[in-house]
Chains A and B, each alone.
Chain A
Amino acid sequence: MFLEPDKRVDLATAAGHVQDGAVVALGGGLSARLPMALVREMIRQGRSGLHVVGSAHGIDVDMLIGANAIAICEESYVGFEQDFGLAPAYRRAASSGTITLRESCCVTILTQLRAAEMGLPFLPVRGIKGTDIPRLHPEYSETTCPFTGEVLVAVPPLSPDVALLHAPMGDMHGNLHLEQPYVLDERFAGASQAVVATVDRLVSADRLADVGVTIPGYLVQAVAEVPYGAHPASCYPGYSYDREHIGAYVKAAGSDETMDEYLREWVHLPDGENGYRDRVGEASLARLAGWSESVDAWKGLFA
């Protein structure tokens, strides 16, 4: 447990908690509440050999792959849905064999996290049998139910070295408030060795208690305040996702050369996240934050 009263650090220190080769759980999902500031900072710091685990993800995992930071990918999905399609860097790395594919299933990952949370050596799942998923997971086994004799797939506990979460709000003690969908963030927090978080806004403990604590501070090792820290993913109620930016990213990620250009232009900036927000521009950020003004304004962000 992390019982220091003041967990506040800067972003570089927060990202520094992740070691090369670590098993990392990335919070949020698809285009929502991804810990993008931490992703960019790990790339700036040259992190490599990571083993990422989780459910359905997009630009966070793809960008880390494009920056050669990932060795093993154990997500249930990496892509840009029907909107922008397959994840370009993921696809390229898989085809060239530069990452190890360990694709999993949301239910399996959830079950493994629960085993870790409960301190159990395994838990069974009913699915998987008959599919080709076990070809990617020699660690899975089988178990016979002592009551019914049913044979089920047994999966080991999954305790990531660190869970990287982004929240709209947090306090100095590391308490975090999230909006739905929480995706796997609560389970990641319970199962991981440590949570490292960024928040759009640090508030007082009283204020946070008023809006509600989703992740308790005792699970959190460090928290850094980074406004728009999920951009170009969304972090409601603050801001919607930046579809234009994600579209441009997918285009750039289509080749190693243009991927490197993207990283130079948007990540390797002398002033880190301040430089990033400057580049995105105040007007764009204000537009994303203006989703709540009207349905037309909101809808317009997706057109």
Chain B
Amino acid sequence: MMYTLDEWFVVTLARTIRDKEAVFHGFGSPCAQVAMHVAKRTHARDMLLIEGAMYALNPNPPFIPPTGNDASLKRGAAYSMRFEEFFDVAIRGDIDRMFLSGGQIDAFGNTNVTAIGRLERPKVKLGGGGGGCNISATIKRLTLWTTRHRSGRTLVDACDFITDIGHRTPAGTRAELGYTGGGPQWLVTELGVFDYEADGRARLIQVFPDVTVDLIRSVTGFEFNVVDDLRTVPPPSDVELAVVRSIDLLGVRRGEFDPGELVRTFEHAHGTTCGC
């Protein structure tokens, strides 16, 4: 079966979710949004899927629209939380995982979604952090992702502005700041997958097969270790691919990628139908 990088990427995000986790994505995050529905329909059937800006629980949307506040996203939901109901659960530490991205991400998983350049007159005013500045402190685990690693501008030595908290900032570690959540667990990019070492720094553990470690080093602004048994990102199964295609009927996930990434095509080796 042939598949594309965007499909593989979404499946890789989905696999960071464990069964029976309560999982949330922020708005403007179609890859994470589709990934949650893929996980729910494959390996994490008993997860609690909290649908982005609708705060709808376990919905069955007929399609994923390109905006996070559309009523299609609460179709079939068991319940719709109020805004404050969701954020209360998040800040008291009862959400297991959140997906989080940023215009800049540093080695410790701090993210900048506020401004590039000088804060007073920023070169680029980004959209803003939504609720991340508080709930990144208390949600148990974070899956970070970016589809713009290759640009060389996203994984940086230091964020121009820290909107959401990673493992440590110049002000201290999570423990020193009194934060109850565990911080970033994974960083998935269109080039590879990182986990986090004991000192809170990102470490490369998997690469996509058309990518070299040298390329990743050349576009990453921070130093990172490479795990001894570096592997290829496990390929998606036919079932996972079928679910991606059946859920994301409008292809909203593709909007997150540079057009050059969307032509990356892969095929399962002969005789294998499952990459598990």
A87 at the interface (CB under 8 A from B): yes
CB-CB under 8 A from B90, the residues of chain A are 107
**Are B138 and A126 in touch, CB under 8 angstroms?**
yes
**Are A132 and B29 in touch, CB under 8 angstroms?**
no
Kindly identify which residue among A87, A101, A127, A151 contacts B115, using a CB–CB cutoff of 8 Å.
A101
**Could you say which of B63, B84, B136, B162 has the most chain A C-beta atoms within 10 Å of its C-beta?**
B84
CB-CB under 8 A from A82, the residues of chain B are 28-30, 66, 252, 255-256
CB-CB under 8 A from A130, the residues of chain B are 162, 165, 169, 171-172, 177, 179
**Are A180 and B178 in touch, CB under 8 angstroms?**
no
CB-CB under 8 A from B114, the residues of chain A are 103, 132-133
Cβ-closest chain A residue relative to B176: A130
B200 at the interface (CB under 8 A from A): no
CB-CB under 8 A from A150, the residues of chain B are 178
**Are A87 and B127 in touch, CB under 8 angstroms?**
yes
CB-CB under 8 A from A106, the residues of chain B are 83, 87, 130-131, 134
Please give the distance in Å from B13's CB to the nearest CB on chain A: 14
B6 at the interface (CB under 8 A from A): no
Q: Digit string of A52-93 for contact with B (CB within 8 Å is 1, else 0)?
A: 000110000000000000000001111101110011001100
**Are B163 and A132 in touch, CB under 8 angstroms?**
yes
**Are B255 and A131 in touch, CB under 8 angstroms?**
no
Q: Mostly helix, strand, loop or mixed at chain A's interface?
A: mixed
CA distance A62 to B134 in the complex (A): 25
**Could you say which of A105, A128, A241 has the most chain B C-beta atoms within 10 Å of its C-beta?**
A105
Please give the distance in Å from B65's CB to the nearest CB on chain A: 5
**Are B70 and A181 in touch, CB under 8 angstroms?**
no
**Are A83 and B171 in touch, CB under 8 angstroms?**
no
CB-CB under 8 A from A184, the residues of chain B are 83
Report the interface size class on chain B.
35 or more
CB-CB under 8 A from A180, the residues of chain B are 54, 56, 74, 80, 82
CB-CB under 8 A from A287, the residues of chain B are none
Please give the distance in Å from B256's CB to the nearest CB on chain A: 6
Report the interface size class on chain A.
35 or more
**Are A181 and B54 in touch, CB under 8 angstroms?**
yes
CA distance A56 to B129 in the complex (A): 9
CB-CB under 8 A from A77, the residues of chain B are 27, 127-130
Please give the distance in Å from A225's CB to the nearest CB on chain B: 22
CA distance A95 to B118 in the complex (A): 9
CA distance A132 to B28 in the complex (A): 22
CA distance A106 to B52 in the complex (A): 13
Cβ-closest chain B residue relative to A85: B127
**Are B83 and A105 in touch, CB under 8 angstroms?**
no
CB-CB under 8 A from A131, the residues of chain B are 133, 162-165, 169
CA distance A206 to B122 in the complex (A): 52
CA distance A208 to B82 in the complex (A): 21
B53 at the interface (CB under 8 A from A): yes
Question: What are 16 A-B contacts with C-beta separation under 8 Å?
Answer: A56-B27, A82-B30, A83-B67, A108-B134, A110-B87, A126-B138, A131-B133, A180-B80, A182-B82, A187-B83, A187-B84, A234-B70, A241-B67, A241-B70, A299-B250, A303-B250
- Beyond the given pairs A76-B130, A126-B138, A295-B63, 12 more chain A to chain B contacts, judged by CB atoms under 8 angstroms and listed by A's residue number, are A81-B28, A82-B252, A94-B115, A126-B134, A181-B54, A181-B69, A184-B83, A240-B70, A299-B62, A299-B249, A302-B63, A302-B70
**A positions within 8 Å CB-CB of B:** 28-32, 55-56, 75-79, 81-83, 86-87, 90-91, 94-97, 101, 103, 105-108, 110, 114, 125-133, 135-136, 150-152, 179-184, 186-187, 234, 236-237, 240-241, 243, 295, 298-299, 302-303
Sorted nearest first, the 4 A-B pairs with minimum C-beta distance are A127-B134, A79-B127, A106-B131, A94-B125
